[in-house]
Structure 1
């Protein structure tokens, strides 16, 4: 069972989310309900949740601040932001901080459960990549480098929506050569760095197209890491066979 923490200064929202989760068949257990950002940080330090559903505007410390301050001790946890403000800058900042998703209040039951389920699936896939990496890395170099590959894979999974993400950027960050980075990504994913990065971004774009009808295609492109809507649309069509607009219309 995965551990879930809920943080919202409105008691009715906290309890409502908890009831929806508890009534579902999702493999999660609620380890705490926080009424403000400071309390959320304290609970997170003691319970170490895998998943956090958090309001963006809370007393003392905002949800965005909580995410930023928790990165040191919860680097792999997934954060789902809930907010009453349909603000693109807020959503953009949330993505930059590595938030998994941004839900608008009032929260729809089906949408909440879908987002939580998707977050759980992402956690499972990330662990599969790490296990695979630890098992196979010796054929690339030696067992010590398994730790490097694990960290690189986790970093790319958590920050693939960062527009600065590139082969050179990641290689410099981990003080490894671009050729070595290319090899370990190919070994663990059977894809090139660019192919793997685009795959993660398009998966996130598909989820946003399906769940955030208010977002423009250009906004989704920016949120998942593309500075050009035209390039995003081309990559999206290469992966799915249809354009982002066509995909959204098919879903509708």
Structure 2
């Protein structure tokens, strides 16, 4: 039931409205009444009604001044004014105060019913809006709570919790967003937060190697997006497990030994990843984390170290290029100059002079 207060300086009007309300099959209940503005303000303050019906001309404090005062502490209460036939100026001012209805005297059942039915629909719509708003806030709070827990799980290196909370967060995001584009945007934001926290924990970790909005943008359905996000977070969880168990160190040692023996072969990161059953993007991050430089840079250093030894042994530059794994002679010379500061022939000459 919606609570209502009736205010009029005429006893018969107040009692008449109360009687009409009692006969109507509407969700309104009179919880208070008054015959002057001063008493009315106190009644309104004490009962905090959903609706106030007040005459404009009442003693002590006129109806419009009463509305202005009451709105200070009851901004959501609706007001309907009663006015005589010639009080148009009052009616115009009432509109500026956001009054919801206007009833001219004499008050009849039909006039009162029309106003109250309109207000009843407004109240119902407002209630529905409030329910939807509260539901949205509840869903946002659920996401924030789960993200907070996930952040703590990353910091504490709790890989299983990271995986579980990601499931919850992706479901929260889906429940909150109506379109797949919103789902993509919020999923990407979540990834950025999670990877940002993880990169703070692991200073050498490169977030951009794992996630790109372009990768999410091309996905066409909810499951693909969820799968992409879970794949990224799984790599984070794997990295957490690896750092705790020390297995990452053993894997990299295995790969370094392999590179030492096969540096002159055409070995790419994909091949190494297959050897240790890892995702290439994840292995790229892991390699840099453990070795302190990218795989390509490390392989280049190994090859150039051997190249310098072969040049000092008297091998020709073209021969050295092939022996260390560069089939393109010009590319080898360019890489050598970029890293050593001299061309291969210049390097040979400068060493001989010494």
**What residue is the counterpart of 1:27 in the other structure?**
27
- The answer to which structure, 1 or 2, has the higher relative contact order (CA under 8 A, 6+ apart) is 1
TM-score (normalised: structure 2)? 0.38
**What residue is the counterpart of 2:115 in the other structure?**
115
Q: Does 1:47 align with 2:57?
A: no
Paired positions, count: 144
**What residue is the counterpart of 1:18 in the other structure?**
18
1:19-168 mapped onto 2 (5 Å cutoff):
19-136=19-136, 143=141
CA distance in 2 between counterparts of 1:64 and 1:76 reads 16
**What residue is the counterpart of 1:211 in the other structure?**
none
CA distance in 2 between counterparts of 1:77 and 1:64 reads 14
CA distance in 2 between counterparts of 1:138 and 1:112 reads 38
Indicate the RMSD between aligned Cα atoms, in angstroms: 2.2
CA distance in 2 between counterparts of 1:39 and 1:138 reads 40
Return 5+ residue gaps in structure 2 as ranges: 142-176, 178-354
Q: How far off is 1:137 after superposition?
A: 5.2
Q: Which has the larger radius of gyration?
A: 2
TM-score (normalised: structure 1)? 0.53
Instruction: Give the 3-state SS of the residue equivalent to 2:52 in structure 1.
Output: strand
Q: Structure 1 residues 134, 102: closer, same or farther in 2, change over 3 A?
A: same
Contact 1:51 1:78 in 2 (8 A): yes
1:127-162 Cα offsets, whole Å, 9 max, x none, are 2112212322588xx55xxxxxxxxxxxxxxxxxxx
Q: Which has the higher helix share?
A: 2
Q: How far off is 1:67 after superposition?
A: 0.5
Contact 1:86 1:104 in 2 (8 A): no
CA distance in 1 between counterparts of 2:117 and 2:60 reads 30
4+ aligned runs moved over 2 Å, structure 1: 85-89, 136-139
Q: Structure 1 residues 3, 138: closer, same or farther in 2, change over 3 A?
A: closer
Instruction: Give the 3-state SS of the residue equivalent to 1:58 in structure 2.
Output: coil
Contact 1:5 1:31 in 2 (8 A): yes
CA distance in 2 between counterparts of 1:29 and 1:60 reads 26
CA distance in 1 between counterparts of 2:138 and 2:40 reads 40
Contact 1:31 1:47 in 2 (8 A): yes
1:86-106 Cα offsets, whole Å, 9 max, x none, are 333222211111111111000
CA distance in 1 between counterparts of 2:39 and 2:130 reads 32
Contact 2:83 2:91 in 1 (8 A): no
Contact 1:81 1:102 in 2 (8 A): yes
Return 5+ residue gaps in structure 1 as ranges: 144-186, 188-252
CA distance in 1 between counterparts of 2:108 and 2:28 reads 19
